[in-house]
Amino acid sequence: MTESFGYDMNFSCIAVTGGPCAGKSTFMAKARQYLENRGYRVAVLSETATELINAGLPPWAPWGSAVAFQSNLIRYSLNRENFYCQFLMELSHGKHTVLLCDRGALDSRAYVSSQEFQEVLNSSGITIQKLRNRYKAVLHLVTAANGAEEFYTLENNSARTETVEMARALDVKTLSAWNGHAHLMVVDNSTGFEDKMSRALESLTRVLGMPDPIEKERKYVVRNFSPELIPVGSVKREIEQTYLFSDDGEVERRIRKSTTEGESTFTTATKIQTHKIGERVEKEKLITETEYTALLSDRLPGKSTIRKDRYWFEENGHGFELDVYQDRNLVILEVEVSDMDNSVTLPKGFECIEVTGDARYSNYELASK
């Protein structure tokens, strides 16, 4: 069982990941209390690798190879998640339910080579995209070894042995492993630890739609685009976005087909503009391909389907989305911010004009042209 759990509107499976000593355990404890206080049923699934290591089954023995260890690790991880998810959904009784996973299945990519990970996938009969789609969102907490070195410690996890340098490298590899996920959120160490936890909680509650998830983003037109600007390792998502009829003129409805490495997911979303530039209330959910096809008949007259290639990458502490439109000479760079007044350092080599709040560059308006 490796499908997405996102098709149940009341259930969300979230991967909380990052390098060593990132604050994952503290965050999940805080998130559980916060959500339970608001009527959610919440379960926290501990890290599979730590369980195996503490049980006397470390990566170097008795498996014989890193591929064998990671293959068994993923198989066991999926079984644990499946059990927890099924158990939670049976107990939910209509309640909103959340499973917070300390790391997700794709973290294994950070510990083996690309060729070795492909061997892991082949032995398990699964694909990277199927593993991505299991999780509604991925929350990456950056290791303290990058930006908060004085607080880096391994005392809270006896299964960890990484130096500061090793922790930084693993953090980068772990983030890269999840590149291509539609809801990959990065929480760095640009503030104190408590503020870091607050920012992580804000990201989580927004993806859960509590109560009105506000999307805050700065938008730029890239003037000097060439394929060489796309960072190495970025995963391409092919997006087809169609706008639907709405009874309320202030509510924007759309459906989206998103294809990565040959596998597609389908979502529907509503967006409502707030009175602040760059901010919108956004609610999104996964739907089936059958539902998506049926909704196409509700296309808004006068609007064409937007087709673009999206590349996600992290730089300067921000997660950027680079949209290359297929049917027009336009490339847009977007970055989510916790506050619209926050300064943004653009990626090296990009020459941009900020168009935040300029309705001409909204996808809704572009669909009219």
Q: What's the pLDDT tens digit per position in 189-235?
A: 998 898 899 899 989 998 888 765 567 789 999 999 999 999 888 88
Residue carrying the six token digits 């919108």? 280
Rg (CA), the chain: 21
Residue 314: burial class (beta carbons within 10 Å; 0-12, 13-18, 19+) = buried
Confidence class of residue 269 from pLDDT cuts 50, 70 and 90? confident
Regarding whether 236 and 172 lie in a shared domain, the answer is no
Does the structure show a pLDDT above 60 at 161?
A: yes
Regarding whether 232 and 143 lie in a shared domain, the answer is no
Does the structure show a pLDDT above 60 at 10?
A: yes
Amino acid 168: pLDDT: 93
In a domain? residue 57: yes
Residue 148 belongs to what domain range?
11-208
Amino acid 2: pLDDT: 46
How many Cβ atoms are within 10 Å of 211's Cβ, its own excluded?
Answer: 8
How high does pLDDT run on average in the chain? 88
Does the structure show a pLDDT above 70 at 302?
A: yes
Distance from the first to the final alpha carbon of the chain? 43
Amino acid 1: pLDDT: 41
Q: 176-185, 261-270, 302-311, 318-327 — which is least confidently predicted?
A: 261-270
In a domain? residue 6: no
Among 208, 232, 267, residue at a domain's last position: 208
Q: Which residue has the higher pLDDT, 62 or 105?
A: 105
Amino acid 94: pLDDT: 75
Regarding whether 265 and 169 lie in a shared domain, the answer is no
Does the structure show a pLDDT above 80 at 158?
A: no
User: How many structural domains does the chain have?
Assistant: 2
**% of the chain residues with pLDDT over 90:** 53
Regarding whether 17 and 126 lie in a shared domain, the answer is yes
CATH number at residue 145: 3.40.50.300
Amino acid 5: pLDDT: 56
Regarding whether 129 and 177 lie in a shared domain, the answer is yes
